[in-house]
Each structure stands twice: as C-alpha cells, then as structure tokens.
Chain A
Amino acid sequence: MDDLQSFREETRQWLEANCPPSQRQPGTPEEQYWGGRRGQFASADAQLWFERMRDRGWTAPEWPTEYGGGGLTPHQGRILKEEMRRINARTPLYSLGIWMLGPALLEYGTEAQKQQHLRAIVNGEVRWCQGYSEPGAGSDLASLQTRAEDQGEHFLVNGSKIWTTSADKSDWIFCLVRTNPDVKKQEGISFLLIDMATPGVSVTPIALISGDSEFCQTFFDNVAVPKDNLVGPLNGGWSVAKALLVHERKLMAELGSDSPRKEIPLLQAARDYLEFNDGRIADAELRSNLASHEMRMHAIGLTHMRSFEERAAGAASTAALAMKYLGTEAMKNKSELLLAIMGSRGLGWEGPGFSDEELDATRLWAGSKAMTIAGGTSEIQLNVIARNVLQLPQAPAAKSKS
C-alpha cells in the first residue's frame, strides 16, 4: 500500500509538471489524436503532451517496457488513470492498437510480430482498424465468409468487411478470415494482419444518423498477405478473436467514464435548462429520472471498482461480463435524458441559434444508439451471460446451427 501511495505521489507530481494546461480540459472528438501515417495533432500542446507520455511508456501504461509500454502493474495503471482523471488530463493517444490488438498480440503473437507491431502502436506510428463484421456476419460473427487461400508464399484474401470504424484513416487492419470452409464454422477461422496499402484493398465510407461517417465498408480483391502475418495457429483465429472481444467490451463498458469529453454534464444541464423550486428541479418526472440515472451510474461505478478488485485478487469476476451491457445501456439512457432536459435546445442540427455544445448534444444522442450495437449487441451480451454465468442450456435454434 505504501508503495502505491508513493507511486501516486510521484505520478501526481509528474503530471503536474508535464501535462500542459490546455490538455487538462475536456476536448472535442476532432481534438483526439489517433496517430498513424495520416495522424494530425490538433495543437502543439497536444503533440508535446503525447510525446512526453510516449517517452514514459504511458501511452500503453501496462504493457512491458521492452515493447515501449510503461510496465505498470494493474494497480499502478489504475492510479495513473485516476490521477489523470483528477486533473481532467486528455488521453494522449487513442488507439485500437492499444485497446484491442496489442493485448491479443501479447497473448498470441510471435516474438517477431510483437517486435514488429507493438512499439509502432505505442509510438502512434501505425493506426489499426478492426475487420470482423461482414454484411452477412454480424452477431453471428463466426459465419464470416471473407476467404484467405493458401498460395504457398502468401494468403490470397477476397471478400468484404463492413462497419469498419475509421478504415479510411487506418494503416493496418486486423481481420478474421475463413481459411477452411469445410469444418464447423468456428474452427475454420484465422486471425490475419493486413497492411491496408497492399494492392486490392479499398474502402468506402458510410454515413451515419449522427452525421458522422466514421465507418466504412472495406473490400479485399485478390490481396496478397505474407504468411508471417497470421496470429495464432491456422484455423485457430476464433480464440484470438474472442480474447480480443473481451478487451473491446471492457473498453466500451468504461467509455464515458474515461477521458474527459466536451459535453454537457447532466447536472449542469439541469441547472441551465430547468426550473428549480426551493433547490429542487420543479419537473417531478425529470427530477425522478435524473435521480434514477445518477444512482445507476453510481452503482455502475462501484461495480467497476469491485470487478477490478476481484480480478486484482485473482478471482473470477462475473461482474466484468455484465459491464458492457450495463454501461452502454446507461450511456444511451443518459443521452435521452440530456435531450429531455434540454427541450428544444437539444434538437438543433446546424448553424445559428445553437451553441456548439448544444449541437454536439444532438449528435451525441444519435451516436449513442450505436453503443448497444457495436462490440456485440445488448442481446448478445445477455446471451453470453445466460450461457456463461447462469449456465442455462443453449436455445434449441442456436444449437442446431453451430
């Protein structure tokens, strides 16, 4: 405990000395730095902050130092997070490489793959995207059809991926591909790393209800991929994929509680947009809904803590499996509530008459609908809990298919 306390002190001092003031306030999505060959810093301070954190290994605080990480224990990693949140420090580097691919490579990658990719991720040199979903394979991910044929020297990849977030801005993609069509669907899948600059890869952005077009359809037309880019055994990609999904869901569960984001907090919105009587919100329905939501967020925060402590104590945590479902449903609810609190001020789409924050609220509300779909829908989360935690028998329909 004393060690952790002194780590906290040191961390606090270091952050105090190194985090530029401009990086200690909520940022807009446009100000996030995602790295990669086309990565742009929104300001000189953002670059300085990123470089200082990178040099300390703190873009990936818990990865081993030999791959450019910070070598922190989970407890230390948590303290760093808490201290950053305390001063509202921005996340210096956003990265699917850090959140998803890296942990999977650390577990399943060869030494050469770790050497090739991990440091490039930590340093923000390469931006990764995720190629799991296909037009015909969403929740039923294992039914994916993108083929990789063994051509001796390399694999030849054909097919398409959909909902690939930021494929148009990414350098590499980690993909699930079918390498054996003649076995049970989970047993013919491999995990492949593909450089998007390879001839035959193309992307088309897709517009969303939020007005963004953050995701794309990604096409593979006779793309040659070196065999060294296979992670885990041939036809053993499903295990890698599932391990990675655990990291993805953990990340999604914690979204919103993580980096400061420029949005209107609910309580602030209540003060700005609602009438108060004697210190209470006059609208009884909204007050009650707000209290319900705040209490739920409080309970979710405590459950994150408990789940962390359980895992730190080496125990299995059934709570961890519930967090994606609970967290994303709560976020969706929060956006609805914010809109309700703002009334017609929460309905602006463009141009004069609305503040930037107000316009953001509308788009965040539309964007929040994706939270309970991406990374495995809420229904799929409930399926997983029913099967893995409650150990209920599999539904007859699902049984006959797989």
Chain B
Amino acid sequence: MALVLNEEQRLLRDTAQDFLQREAPVAALRQLRDSRDDTGYSTTLWQQMADLGWASIILPEAYGGLDFGFTGLGVIMQESGRTLVASPLFATAVVGASALLLAGTEAQREHYLPLLAAGNLTLALALEESHHHSPHRIEARVERRGDDLVLNGHKTFVLDGHSADYLLVLARDPERTDTGQDLTLLLVPRTSAGIDCQRSLMVDSRNAATINFTDVRIPADAVLGRPGQASDALDQILDRGRVALAAEMLGSAEEVFDRTVAWLKERVQFGVPIGSFQALQHRAAHMQTELELSRSVVLQALAAVDDNPTQVPLLASLAKANLNELVKNISNEAVQMHGGIGVTDELEIGFFLKRARVTMQIFGDTGFHKDRYASLCGY
C-alpha cells in the first residue's frame, strides 16, 4: 500500500537528497537573497532538475513525462522542502502541469507539456485577488472584442509571476454570468502589452508578483480548455497544489526538527545537554508525535491523487490544514529551543521559520481548510 515508500520511491529519494544537498543547500537560497538575483532562482539548477526528470515527474509518458504520479512527486517535494530550494518546481511542474493536464485541450497539452517537461517553459498561476485565499471570488474580467479577447484585472501573490514565460490567469466572463459557469483560465504570455508586473521579495527570500492587466489583448485560443468551464478543474488543480505543497512543508518540518533535536543534544548548559531537561524533552516528543500524524496525512493525500480521486478534496484540506499548523508550531519551537542564536540571520533556522509562514498562506490557511473540511462532512 501507499503509506510506506516502495523501492523505486526510496531510490528517487536518495537521488534527490544527494543532488539537493550538493547543488541546492539552504546556503544557495541565502546566496540568491544576498545577491539580489533577478530571477529569484538559478536557471542552471532548474535545467539540471528538468534533466533529472523532475519537471515532468507527474506527466504521462506520452508528453515526455516520467509518470511517477503524486507519490513520486511527493518524494521530490519533501526533499526540496528539506533544503528550501527555490525553483519553478511548484508553480510550473505541479500547478502549471496540473492545469494543462486537467483543463487544457489535447492540442494545448501536446504543444505545451513537452516544452514544460524539457525545462523550456515556466508558468505562474495568477489567481488571488485579495490577501486571503478565495479562489472563487474573482473579479478579473475577460471579454470578447472582435476575434480576440480582452483581459482586465488585478492579481496578487502570484508565485514566480515576474519570471514565468506564461501566466495562467483566472478571470470571469461577464457574458456567462447567468449560466453560473463563468470562470475561465487563460494562458497569457507574461510580456504581453498591458501587463504591469511588480516583483516583490517575500519574507522567505522568494518572489511573488502583483500584476495589473489593463486591456490585455489575447487570441481566443489562449483559453485553456473551454471558456467558462474552469471552475471544476480549478478545485482539482488547487487540491493537487495543496497536496504537493503539504509534502514540501513536511520535508521542511522534518529538517528543522532534526536540526533542533541535534541542537538539544549538543548545547550544554548547567553542565548537561539541554536535551536532558524534561521541559524541553516533552515539547520535542510532542512535536515528534505531531510529525507522525503529518506523515500519514501527506502520504495518504498523495496516494489519493493517484488512486482515489473522490477522496482528494477531503484529504487535501486535511493535509494542508494539518501541515499549516505543524510548520507554524515546529518552526516556532525550533527558534525558541535554539535560544539567542535561533534569532540570528547566521543560523539557517530562520529561513525555515520564514518559509513556513509563506507556505501557510499559499492555497488556503488553516481556517480556510478547516471550514472546507467541515462543509465537505456536512456540518
């Protein structure tokens, strides 16, 4: 069953671990930050990752993919969480690829997916319009003008938005409002006229853009799939993103916890290692039990994407809410248990603390997912 890694997945994990520790340790993120890198990630590294097949890990072989499914993807996400690697993995290989797979026409998949698989196409989902995740409250508009479409609106918190080749924009079609099916996903080249893209550096040293679309003219075939039909696919795309992100968060939590436990054994005060103090032991042991729960939840959610689609909404919300709380608590405890050195920039613990806060907001905070879980269960 899927709650224990199989041989193939263990190999994948070992390869990923080796590669990331060598090529993309946390120090690499620090370097990107300190050098104020324009892209926000290393394009050489991304090409290497694509060469390893990670850009195409969930894609069927027909599109040049590895077809390892989400259980395979989860292994990579978890390892990338351990070193906090900045790359288009999430925005492109998870969210972008899922959008093309779930919402795209066959022609669109055949055109874009092989490019994406080869590392030659990056995507960014332009979804949010306010500072809280609310995927169905969309005001951006797409309207017909002659043979073309015209896009207007404002998007925020667009991950990789300033660097992606294409933006996947969610907009409403006012002509379809009566039908209740008026959400459309559009594939828009980032450099199109009328796009004003403002890059922001986030607390986790990664990027999210704020983007204004003013009368952006795009051809009618820029619609991903059929116009007005994005709503169902959107939830599935987001759920896949949530599950993959939860796997990344799990990796980060494991890493920051391992580092903290190591510190508890190393740091001496009052003549003994601080890890011999029961006040700290119990907090560490409690976190260990929370980690056990999170592991099960993430593995089951990943497996459900592959084998049990009807369970995905419930498990995605369970996983995202659970991991939100885990990374918040575990990163706070990590800082506290390190003492003064824990709040220095020199120690890498702070990077985990900051990344945790960003991941907690992506695709839904705890309240969002608790509410969704309760609604799905009928209360």
Q: Chain A interface (Cβ within 8 Å of chain B)? A: 267, 270-271, 276, 279-281, 287-288, 290-292, 294-296, 298-300, 302-303, 305-306, 309-310, 313, 315, 318-319, 322, 325-326, 379, 381-383, 385-386, 389-396
A290 contact set on B, CB distance < 8 A: 374, 379
Q: A270-B379, A295-B318 are in contact. List 6 more A-B contacts (CB 8 A).
A: A291-B370, A299-B293, A299-B322, A322-B292, A383-B285, A396-B272
B373 contact set on A, CB distance < 8 A: 291, 294-295
Q: Chain B interface (Cβ within 8 Å of chain A)? A: 1, 3-4, 261, 264-265, 272-273, 275-278, 281-282, 284-286, 288-289, 292-297, 299-300, 318, 321-322, 370-371, 373-375, 377-379
Find the B residue at minimum CB distance from A387. B281
Residue from the list B272, B273, B296, B374 in contact with A299, Cβ < 8 A: B296
The smallest beta-carbon distance between B371 and chain A, in angstroms, is 8
User: Roughly how many angstroms separate A270 CA and B273 CA in the complex, as a whole number?
Assistant: 48
Contact yes or no, B292 A302, CB < 8 A: no
Contact yes or no, A382 B285, CB < 8 A: yes
Given contacts A294-B373, A299-B318, A392-B264, contact A319 B292 (CB under 8 A): yes
B378 contact set on A, CB distance < 8 A: 267, 279
A306 contact set on B, CB distance < 8 A: 3-4, 295-296, 299
A-B contact pairs, 22 of them (CB 8 A): A267-B379, A290-B379, A291-B370, A291-B371, A291-B373, A295-B318, A299-B293, A299-B294, A302-B299, A302-B300, A305-B1, A326-B292, A382-B286, A383-B278, A386-B281, A386-B284, A389-B288, A390-B275, A390-B284, A392-B264, A392-B281, A393-B273
Contact yes or no, A303 B292, CB < 8 A: yes
Contact yes or no, B296 A395, CB < 8 A: no
Top 8 nearest A-B pairs by Cβ distance? A386-B281, A302-B296, A385-B285, A306-B3, A322-B289, A382-B285, A303-B296, A392-B275
Contact yes or no, A291 B322, CB < 8 A: no
User: Roughly how many angstroms separate A298 CA and B376 CA in the complex, as a whole number?
Assistant: 14
The smallest beta-carbon distance between B12 and chain A, in angstroms, is 18
User: Roughly how many angstroms separate A344 CA and B28 CA in the complex, as a whole number?
Assistant: 59
The listed residue with most A CB atoms (<10 A of its CB), out of B4, B273, B370, B379, is B379
User: Roughly how many angstroms separate A265 CA and B370 CA in the complex, as a whole number?
Assistant: 20
User: Roughly how many angstroms separate A226 CA and B300 CA in the complex, as a whole number?
Assistant: 52
Residue from the list B273, B282, B371, B379 in contact with A386, Cβ < 8 A: B282
B377 contact set on A, CB distance < 8 A: 267, 291, 294
Chain A interface mostly: helix
Given contacts A267-B377, A295-B322, A392-B276, contact A386 B285 (CB under 8 A): yes
User: Roughly how many angstroms separate A383 CA and B264 CA in the complex, as a whole number?
Assistant: 15
User: Roughly how many angstroms separate A318 CA and B294 CA in the complex, as a whole number?
Assistant: 13
B292 contact set on A, CB distance < 8 A: 303, 318-319, 322, 326
B278 contact set on A, CB distance < 8 A: 383, 386, 395
Contact yes or no, B299 A390, CB < 8 A: no
A325 contact set on B, CB distance < 8 A: 289
User: Roughly how many angstroms separate A75 CA and B296 CA in the complex, as a whole number?
Assistant: 19
The smallest beta-carbon distance between B306 and chain A, in angstroms, is 16
Find the B residue at minimum CB distance from A398. B278
User: Roughly how many angstroms separate A299 CA and B284 CA in the complex, as a whole number?
Assistant: 19
Contact yes or no, B374 A322, CB < 8 A: no
The smallest beta-carbon distance between A142 and chain B, in angstroms, is 18
Find the B residue at minimum CB distance from A279. B378
Contact yes or no, A295 B296, CB < 8 A: no
Residue from the list B261, B273, B277, B296 in contact with A305, Cβ < 8 A: B296
The smallest beta-carbon distance between B170 and chain A, in angstroms, is 26
User: Roughly how many angstroms separate A315 CA and B370 CA in the complex, as a whole number?
Assistant: 33
Contact yes or no, A305 B3, CB < 8 A: yes
Given contacts A306-B4, A309-B3, contact A291 B374 (CB under 8 A): yes
The smallest beta-carbon distance between B82 and chain A, in angstroms, is 18
Contact yes or no, A313 B293, CB < 8 A: no
The smallest beta-carbon distance between A250 and chain B, in angstroms, is 15
Contact yes or no, B4 A309, CB < 8 A: yes
Contact yes or no, B265 A392, CB < 8 A: yes
The smallest beta-carbon distance between B276 and chain A, in angstroms, is 4
Contact yes or no, A322 B272, CB < 8 A: no
Find the A residue at minimum CB distance from B278. A395
Residue from the list B261, B276, B318, B374 in contact with A395, Cβ < 8 A: B276
User: Roughly how many angstroms separate A394 CA and B273 CA in the complex, as a whole number?
Assistant: 9
Find the B residue at minimum CB distance from A329. B289
B276 contact set on A, CB distance < 8 A: 392-396
Contact yes or no, B289 A393, CB < 8 A: no
Residue from the list B264, B294, B322, B379 in contact with A281, Cβ < 8 A: B379
User: Roughly how many angstroms separate A310 CA and B299 CA in the complex, as a whole number?
Assistant: 13
The smallest beta-carbon distance between A392 and chain B, in angstroms, is 4
Find the B residue at minimum CB distance from A274. B379
A303 contact set on B, CB distance < 8 A: 292-293, 295-296
